[in-house]
Amino acid sequence: MFREITQADREIYYDFVDKFYHTDAVNAPVPPENYELTFNEMMRSDTYVKGYIFEDEGKPCGFALLSKTFSQEAGGLSVTIEEIYIEPQSRGKGFGTAFFEFLKREIPAMRFRLEVEDYNKGAMRLYERMGFELLPYLQMVIDKQRQK
């Protein structure tokens, strides 16, 4: 159903990331060179980022990307589900549910986080069903790639 990304998955990963960043699930695409930076970091170590390929009947159908940090507030490892994308024809088959159950069972994190656009009601229902709660605060960011 899903497996860790390997070196042989480079083109598959790039294809899925590009599709993800051209959906309405994100505010704007990221530069393609970021795909390579992230992939190279995954291949170097899983200290900061880890990726998974989803498979439907043995064929790649999506991916998930996790990033890791230590959170004093949470009292340990905090894992952010940075991206999750499943091809339209493979949605509704339980991949998301199975992946979140896997994360909670196998990743020794004190906290799992993710972002979701407020109009993505289907994703929000899945995340709530998996135990995620809506946070009551805004986040702020300085993004060097978008500064002028």
* Measured distance CA(78)–CA(72) in Å, rounded: 9
Q: What is the pLDDT of residues 72-123, one digit of tens each?
A: 999 999 999 999 999 999 999 999 999 999 999 999 999 999 999 888 888 9
Closest CA to 65 of 39, 88, 87, 45: 39
State what percent of residues in the chain have pLDDT above 90.
83
Helix and strand counts by DSSP (H, E) for the chain: 4, 5
Distances (CA, A) of 93 to 56, 61, 80, 97: 9, 11, 23, 9
Q: Contact at 8 Å (CB) between 16 and 85?
A: yes
- DSSP run (H or E) holding 95: helix 95-106
Q: What domains, with CATH codes, occur in the chain?
A: 2-129 (3.40.630.30)
Would you say residue 135 has pLDDT above 80?
Answer: yes
pTM of structure? 0.92
Confidence band for 144, pLDDT divided at 50, 70 and 90: confident
